[in-house]
């Protein structure tokens, strides 16, 4: 859905803002940097529907900064970043694009870039064949080596990077998040896009995450998930696609999963988070428009100390 149509729809469904994705054609980093009127044009589209933009997202390019590159990554990169697909150059071009993303965000007047980092050690998740602590440590050093220069670029334009803590990233739970912060010396450029849907099925309490990183939560995704364990399936989900009812867990429209958003809102209030609550909608068992609408209403009902309700347009096509 092109941005004008999406903006109209989002406003109609009850949203106050949009989180623009840097893939597809909602917000194109290269155009933002090369074309001086581009950012203005984007904001005009939003303004026409009284929508704000609190953050932009560049998960897909960010993923390629640290990942061991394989064919899957081709599908998530623009050709100019993928190039010939040789791993190290891909990673470097991705890193460069992330620097540009910070600059583009600044031009748009946005202070937060949400995204992924990738990880060179994710595939060593289970410690067999035997895995030394030093091997893991080198993964965190690799993260610091690749992202510190990017974060320097962010600092230069006064923009923050909010990692969506998520499997396949350098941080996917509380301990790894702490590890990642330490790896970059605790610099404030690096914080989190809190999304409870990636934590709940791991058994991580979303409120504990907020308590642990109160000052470093720069953005919030409202997305739900539910474990559907019955003794015959696995929390690791059996190499089955999202939407397959045999999986151990799946995403859900907000309020239809097992996340206790009530406690999350209280914890965010207590942590003095004042940013938007951005709905990232994903539910294989429900019509998208129906879901986006009920999600907006759900967040409004939930949010007793009014925050603004945004829609994450990243996955909206």
Q: Which of residues 73-102 bind its own copies (CB under 8 A)?
A: 73, 75-76
Extract the tokens encoding 188: 């404030």
- Report which of 160, 176, 53 is spatially closest to residue 114, judged by C-alpha positions: 160
Question: 3-state DSSP call for residue 99?
Answer: helix
- Asked if residue 242 binds its own copies (CB under 8 A), the reply is yes
For residues 294 and 253, is the Cβ–Cβ distance under 8 A?
yes
Nearest approach in angstroms of CB 238 to its own copies is 4
Residues 138-157 that bind its own copies (CB under 8 A): 139
Q: Which is nearer to its own copies, 188 or 243 (CB)?
A: 243
Q: Which is nearer to its own copies, 33 or 122 (CB)?
A: 122
Q: By rule CB under 8 A, what string of x and - marks binding of each residue 168-187 to its own copies?
A: x---xxxxx--x--------
Nearest approach in angstroms of CB 73 to its own copies is 6
> Exposed/middle/buried for 165, CB within 10 Å: 0-12, 13-18, 19+?
buried
- Asked if residue 266 binds its own copies (CB under 8 A), the reply is yes
Q: Which of 36, 37, 80, 126 binds its own copies (CB under 8 A)?
A: 126
Extract the tokens encoding 299: 């967040």
- Asked if residue 121 binds its own copies (CB under 8 A), the reply is yes
How far apart (Å, rounded) are the C-alpha atoms in residues 109 and 107? 5
Q: Which is nearer to its own copies, 48 or 246 (CB)?
A: 246
Distances (CA, A) of 173 to 144, 170, 208, 224, 308: 18, 9, 10, 16, 26
Residues 27-66 that bind its own copies (CB under 8 A): 60, 63
Residues 185-224 that bind its own copies (CB under 8 A): 199, 202-205, 207-208, 212
* Beta bridge partner(s), residue 279: 222, 311
């Amino acid at each position: 859905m092109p941005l004008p149509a999406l903006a109209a729809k989002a406003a109609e469904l009850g949203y106050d803002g949009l989180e623009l994705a840097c893939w597809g054609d909602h917000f194109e980093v290269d155009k933002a940097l090369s074309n001086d009127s581009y950012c203005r044009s984007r904001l005009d589209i939003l303004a026409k529907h009284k929508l704000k933009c609190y953050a932009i997202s560049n998960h897909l390019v960010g993923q390629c900064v640290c990942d061991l590159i394989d064919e899957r990554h081709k599908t998530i990169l623009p050709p100019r970043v993928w190039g010939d697909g040789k791993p190290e150059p891909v990673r470097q071009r991705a890193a460069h694009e992330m620097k540009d993303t910070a600059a583009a965000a600044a031009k748009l007047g946005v202070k937060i870039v949400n995204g992924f980092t990738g990880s060179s050690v994710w595939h060593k998740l289970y410690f067999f064949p035997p895995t030394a602590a030093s091997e893991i440590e080198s993964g965190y050093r690799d993260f610091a080596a690749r992202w510190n220069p990017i974060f320097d670029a962010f600092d230069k334009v006064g923009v923050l990077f909010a990692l969506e803590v998520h499997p396949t990233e350098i941080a996917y739970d509380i301990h790894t998040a702490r590890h990642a912060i330490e790896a970059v010396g605790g610099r404030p450029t690096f914080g989190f896009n809190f999304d409870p849907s990636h934590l709940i099925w791991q058994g991580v309490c979303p409120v504990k995450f907020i308590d642990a990183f109160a000052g470093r939560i720069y953005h919030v995704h409202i997305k739900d998930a539910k474990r559907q364990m019955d003794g015959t399936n696995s929390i690791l989900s059996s190499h089955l696609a999202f939407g397959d009812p045999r999986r151990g867990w799946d995403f859900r429209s907000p309020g239809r999963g097992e996340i206790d958003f009530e406690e999350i809102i209280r914890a965010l209030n207590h942590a003095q988070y004042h940013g938007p609550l951005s709905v990232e909608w994903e539910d294989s068992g429900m019509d998208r428009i129906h879901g986006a609408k009920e999600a907006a209403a759900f967040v409004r009902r939930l949010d007793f100390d009014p925050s603004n309700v945004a829609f994450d347009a990243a996955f909206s096509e």
